[in-house]
Structure 1
Amino acid sequence: MAIRIVVAGATGWVGRALVPAILAAPDLELAGAVARGAAGRDAGEALGLPAAGVTIHATLAEALAAPSDVVIDYTKPPYVKGHALAALAAGRHVVVGPSGLGADDYAEIEQAALAAGRGVLAAGNFSVTATLLKRFALEAARYVPDVEVIDYAAAGKPDVPSGTARELAEALAAVPRKPSAKPVGELSGLRDTRGAQVGAGTPVPVHSVRMPSFILSCEAVFGLPDERLVIRHDAGGSAAPYVAGTLLAARRVGEAVGLRRGLDSLMG
Structure 2
Amino acid sequence: MIRICFSGVTGWTASAVVAAIEGSADLVLVSGVSRSAAGKSLAEAVGCAAEGRVYASVAEALAAGPVDVVIDYTSAAAVKQNAFEAVRAGAHVVIGSSGLTAEDYAELDEAARDREVGVIAAGNFSVMAAVLRKAAALAAEHLDRWEIIDYASAGKPDVPSGTARELAETLGAIRRPVPAVPLDELRGPVEARGADVDGTRIHSVRLPSYVVSTEIIFGGAGERLVMQHDAGPDPAPYVAGTLLAVRHVGDAVGVRRGLDSLLFES
Q: TM-score, normalised by structure 2?
A: 0.95
What percentage of aligned pairs have identical amino acids? 56
1:73 aligns with 2:72: yes
Structure 1 residues 1-268: aligned runs within 5 Å: 2-49=1-48, 51-65=49-63, 66-177=65-176, 179=178, 181-199=180-198, 203-268=199-264
> Which deviations, in whole Å up to 9, do the C-alpha atoms of 1:66-88 show, x marking residues without a partner?
10111111111111111111111
Change (3 A) 1:148 1:179: same
Q: In structure 2, what residue type is equivalent to 1:197?
A: D
Secondary structure, in 3 states, of the residue corresponding to 2:36? helix
User: What per-residue deviation string (whole Å, max 9, x for no partner) do you get for residues 27-78 of structure 1?
Assistant: 01112111111122221332234x4211111211110011011111111111
Q: Is the contact between residue 152 and residue 217 of structure 1 (CA under 8 Å) also seen in structure 2? A: yes
SS for the counterpart of 1:78 is coil
Q: 1:180 to 1:91 in 2, by over 3 A?
A: closer
3-state secondary structure, aligned to 1:85: helix
Q: CA RMSD in A?
A: 1.3
The structural deviation recorded for 1:146 is: 0.4
Q: Which runs of 4+ in 1 moved over 6 A?
A: none
The separation in 2 between residues aligned to 1:24 and 1:43, in whole angstroms, is 16
Cα deviation, residue 180, structure 1: 5.2
Contact residue 7 and residue 33 of structure 2 kept, 8 A: yes
SS in 1 for 2:32: strand
TM-score (norm 1): 0.95
**Contact map agreement 1:42 1:53 (CA 8 A) in 2:** yes
The gaps in structure 1 that reach 5 residues or longer are none
Count how many residue pairs are aligned between Structure 1 and Structure 2.
263
- 1:45–1:52 CA contact under 8 A, matched in 2: no
Is there any run of 5+ residues in structure 2 with no aligned partner, and where?
none
What per-residue deviation string (whole Å, max 9, x for no partner) do you get for residues 157-191 of structure 1? 11111110000011111222551523334434321
